[in-house]
Chains A and B, each alone.
Chain A
Amino acid sequence: MDTRTLEPLAVPEIAPPERSLPPGRWVKENLFSSWFNGVLTVLLAALLGWALYKIGRFVFVDARWEIVEVNLTNILVFRFPREELWRLWVALYVLAAAFGLGAGVATRVRSEDVRQGRATPPARLMTLRRLGPLLAVVAVFLWFAKSVEATILVAGIAATWIAARAGGRFVPPRHARRAGAAVLVGVAAAYLVVSAFGGVGWERWGGLLLTVFLAVGGIVISFPLGVLLALGRRSSFPAVRVVCVAYIELVRGVPLITILFLGAFMLGFFLPPGSETPSLEARALVGLVLFTAAYVAEIVRGGLQSVPREQTEAAVALGLSPLKTMRLIVLPQALRAVIPALVGQFISLFKDTSLVFIIGLTELLAVSELITKQPEFLAEGLIIETLVFAGFVYWAGSYWMSRESQRLERRLGVGER
C-alpha cells in the first residue's frame, strides 16, 4: 500500500516585508498625515492630558482618603463581628491552599499538553499578569490599612498559595479530577470555617464580603440552572418545553429590582403560615440566581444552536445515547462558543449585586454610601471618594473576569475552527 505524500518543494526562505516604522515616521504617518489630522491630534492630546491631570490630581492630591482608611474594615465586611474576623483570615488561608493546589495541577496538565504539542507554552509571568487586577485591589487595601499585621497575614496567604501550587505540580495529570474535587472541598471548608461552629451567618455579612459571596454564589448556582433551562427549552417533551419557555420569557420581561423586591417583601405571603422566612441575604441570592439563570439559558441556547447537527449524528452513529451525546459532544462545544457572552452575563451579575442595597442589604456600594453619614464625615462631601474607591473595586473584579474569559477562549481555541 502506498501512502507516500508528495515531498514539499524546496522553497527559498523569504522574509516577510518589513512593517515596523522608525518612531519619527510612525508619528508622522499616523498622527500628522494631514493638517486636519494634526489639529485633531493636538486637540485630543490636550483633552487627554487635561483629563489625566484632573484624575491624577484628585486621586493623589485632593481626595481625602481618610474616610476609606478609617472604614477599611467596614468596606470589607461591615457588620461582621470584629472578634470573629480570625475566621475570615483562616478561610482565606484555606482558599489560598485549595486554589494554589488547583493552579499547580493545572500548570502540570498544561506543561504535559505543551510537551505533546497540544498547547503553546504560557507567556512569562503569566500567573502574575492574570491576577494583576486582583493584586492591585489587595495592594490598595494594604496601602490604606498601613498595618504590619495585615501585611504579614496577606504575605502569608500569598506564601500559602505559592507553596500549595508547588505541591500541586507533583500531582500526576491523571488525578486532575481529584484535585478539582479537593478545590471544592477547600471552598466548602472555608465556608464552614466562617459560618459553622458558632461562626457568623449570612445575616451578619456585609461589604465586599457580601458582594463577593452574592456574585460567586449567583454565578455558581445560576450557571447549571441556566444550562438545564436551555436544555429544557429544546426538550422533545412539550410540558418541559412550555414550562422552560414560560419561565425564561417571564423572568426576562421583569426588571431585577422587581424580583428582588418580590423576594424581600412578598415571599412571606406565599410561604405556608408559621414557616420560617429565609434570611434577606438568602432571598437576595435566590433572586439574583433566578434572574441570571434565565439569561444564561438564552445564551446557552444560542450555543446549542451553533453546534452543527452533524456532530450529533456522528455521536449517535457511534452508539452514544442522546444524554451522553448532549453531555460529551454538544454541550462542551456549545459552551465554548458562548464563553464571551456568558462571562459578560456574569460580569453583569457581579455589578448587579449592588442592587440588593435597595432591599436593605449593606454590600460594597451600600457601605460606601453609609460611611459618609458617620458623624465625623457628615456633610463633608466625601461620597466621591468612597464611590471612586468602590468603583475601582468593581472595575478590578470585572476586568479580571473579562481577561480570564479571553484567556479561556484562547486556551480552548474557540476561533480554531
Chain B
Amino acid sequence: MSDTALGSATVPGGTGEAMIVVEGVEKWFDHFQALAGVDLVVGRQEVVVVSGPSGSGKSTLIRCINRLEKHDRGRIVVDGIELSDDIRHIQEIRREIGMVFQQFNLFPHLTVLENITLAPRQVRRWPKKRARQKANELLLRVHIPEQAHKYPGQLSGGQQQRAAIARALAMEPKIMLFDEPTSALDPEMIKEVLDVMEELASSGMTMIVVTHEMGFARAVADRMVLMADGEIVEVGTPEHFFVNPREERTKQFLSQIL
C-alpha cells in the first residue's frame, strides 16, 4: 500500500491503531463504477465524516465495510479480520459493527424494546434479563426510556432514529456506521439525533458518518473525507476543510452546501 498516493488518507487517526483498513476498493453496479479505488484507514476511536455530492459512493463505501455490498476489487480489513466470501468472517465483522440507516429501518412488528433486545438475544445469546437491562440503559442514553413498549410506527422520526441507534449499540459494537442518519428527518428533529451521536463520539466510539451536517462535522469529526465520482478527493481535519481546502472540487462542494 502506498502512503504517498493519497497523503493523509492512509494515516490512521484516533489512538493511532488501525480499526478499519480500506485498500484500493472498487465496486461496480453493472456498468456503473460506484467506487473507483478507495483507500482509507480509520483509527480506533476516530470519528470520520464522509461528505460529497449524491452518487459519489459515500453510502456504497460504508455499506461495503459491513458487507451489505460486496466489493469487487481491493481489500477491507475490520479489526484485523479481512472481509472475504467466508460467511463466518462476515458474521463476525457484522457483530462488531453497528449501522444506522437513513430510513431508520426499525422492525415495525416489534416494540422498541424488542427491536433492541433482538440481536443481543439471538446473536450474542444473552439471557432475556441482561438484554432488557442493556436496552433500558441505552434507551435512557438516547433519551427515550418512556417509549420502550411502543411500536416504531407510534414514534416520531427523531425518536425512531434514536431507537435505531440504541438498537445498533445494544450489540456493543466497536464501530458505528451512520448512513445519512438525519437526511430523512424533519428539521426540528435533527438536533436530538446529532446530540446523541455527539455523545457517542465523545465516549470513544469509532465512527464513520456519512452526512451533510457540516456543523456536526466541524464539532465532532477528527477527519473529514470528501468523495466524488467514487473516489476520495480530499482528506483532512475539519479546520483544514473549512479554512483552507486544497482541491477545487472541495471548494465547489462546500460552497454549495454551506
A1 contacts B99, C-beta separation under 8 Å: no
B101-135: contact bitstring with A at CB < 8 Å (1 yes, 0 no)?
Answer: 10101111101000000110011000000000000
B168 contacts A318, C-beta separation under 8 Å: yes
Known A-B contacts A311-B107, A317-B99, A319-B95; the reply to A3 vs B195 at CB < 8 A is yes
- Place the interface of chain A in its size category: 20 to 34
B122 contacts A332, C-beta separation under 8 Å: no
User: For the complex, is A320 an interface residue (Cβ under 8 Å from B)?
Assistant: yes
The interface stretch among A67-75, A190-198, A267-275, A321-329 is A321-329
Known A-B contacts A318-B168, A324-B122, A328-B122; the reply to A116 vs B109 at CB < 8 A is no
Residue picked from A3, A313, A318, A412, most chain B C-beta under 10 Å: A318
Residue of A nearest to B99 (CB): A317
Give bound CA distance, A318 to B97, whole Å.
Answer: 8
A2 contacts B195, C-beta separation under 8 Å: yes
Chain A neighbourhood of B107, CB < 8 A: 311, 314-315, 329, 333
B103 to A: closest C-beta gap in Å? 6
User: For the complex, is A417 an interface residue (Cβ under 8 Å from B)?
Assistant: yes
A295-321: contact bitstring with B at CB < 8 Å (1 yes, 0 no)?
Answer: 000000000000000110111111111
User: For the complex, is A149 an interface residue (Cβ under 8 Å from B)?
Assistant: no
Chain B neighbourhood of A333, CB < 8 A: 107-109
B188 contacts A319, C-beta separation under 8 Å: no
Residue of A nearest to B102 (CB): A310
User: For the complex, is B151 an interface residue (Cβ under 8 Å from A)?
Assistant: yes
Give bound CA distance, A295 to B14, whole Å.
Answer: 57
Within 8 A of A (CB), among B146-189: 149-151, 153, 167-168, 171, 188
Give bound CA distance, A354 to B106, whole Å.
Answer: 45
Chain B neighbourhood of A315, CB < 8 A: 107
User: For the complex, is A19 an interface residue (Cβ under 8 Å from B)?
Assistant: no
User: For the complex, is B68 an interface residue (Cβ under 8 Å from A)?
Assistant: yes
User: For the complex, is B91 an interface residue (Cβ under 8 Å from A)?
Assistant: yes
A318-353: contact bitstring with B at CB < 8 Å (1 yes, 0 no)?
Answer: 111100100011001100100000000000000000
Q: A117 contacts which of B91, B119, B150, B195 (Cβ < 8 Å)?
A: B150
A317 contacts B153, C-beta separation under 8 Å: no
Known A-B contacts A6-B188, A324-B122; the reply to A318 vs B94 at CB < 8 A is yes
Give bound CA distance, A412 to B110, whole Å.
Answer: 11
Known A-B contacts A6-B188, A118-B151, A413-B151; the reply to A319 vs B119 at CB < 8 A is yes
Within 8 A of B (CB), among A358-417: 412-413, 416-417
Known A-B contacts A310-B105, A332-B109; the reply to A116 vs B153 at CB < 8 A is no
- Place the interface of chain B in its size category: 20 to 34
Q: A320 contacts which of B106, B111, B119 (Cβ < 8 Å)?
A: B119
Chain A neighbourhood of B106, CB < 8 A: 314
B108 contacts A318, C-beta separation under 8 Å: no
B105 contacts A314, C-beta separation under 8 Å: yes
Q: A416 contacts which of B91, B108, B111, B118 (Cβ < 8 Å)?
A: B108
Q: A328 contacts which of B108, B118, B171, B191 (Cβ < 8 Å)?
A: B118
Within 8 A of B (CB), among A3-25: 3, 5-6
B195 to A: closest C-beta gap in Å? 5
Chain A neighbourhood of B95, CB < 8 A: 319
Known A-B contacts A318-B94, A417-B108; the reply to A310 vs B122 at CB < 8 A is no
Q: B192 contacts which of A3, A118, A317 (Cβ < 8 Å)?
A: A3
B94 contacts A319, C-beta separation under 8 Å: yes
A336 contacts B103, C-beta separation under 8 Å: no
Chain B neighbourhood of A116, CB < 8 A: 149
A317 contacts B97, C-beta separation under 8 Å: yes
Give bound CA distance, A317 to B64, whole Å.
Answer: 11
A313 contacts B91, C-beta separation under 8 Å: no
User: For the complex, is B247 an interface residue (Cβ under 8 Å from A)?
Assistant: no
User: For the complex, is B66 an interface residue (Cβ under 8 Å from A)?
Assistant: yes
User: For the complex, is B240 an interface residue (Cβ under 8 Å from A)?
Assistant: no
Known A-B contacts A118-B150, A328-B122, A417-B153; the reply to A317 vs B111 at CB < 8 A is no
B243 to A: closest C-beta gap in Å? 27
Residue picked from B109, B188, B198, most chain A C-beta under 10 Å: B109
B122 contacts A1, C-beta separation under 8 Å: no
B149 contacts A320, C-beta separation under 8 Å: no
Q: A3 contacts which of B66, B143, B168 (Cβ < 8 Å)?
A: B143
Chain A neighbourhood of B167, CB < 8 A: 318
B93 to A: closest C-beta gap in Å? 9
Chain B neighbourhood of A316, CB < 8 A: 68, 94
Residue of B nearest to A112 (CB): B149
What are 22 pairs between A and B in contact, CB < 8 Å? A1-B195, A3-B192, A116-B149, A118-B111, A118-B150, A311-B105, A313-B101, A313-B105, A314-B99, A314-B101, A314-B106, A315-B107, A316-B94, A317-B66, A317-B168, A318-B98, A319-B95, A320-B118, A328-B122, A333-B107, A416-B151, A416-B153
**Smallest CB-CB A-B distances: 7 pairs:** A314-B105, A318-B119, A319-B95, A317-B99, A319-B123, A116-B149, A319-B94
Give 17 new A-B contacts, CB below 8 A, not counting A317-B66, A329-B107.
A1-B198, A2-B191, A3-B192, A6-B188, A117-B149, A118-B111, A311-B107, A317-B68, A317-B98, A318-B94, A319-B94, A320-B122, A333-B109, A336-B109, A416-B151, A416-B153, A417-B153
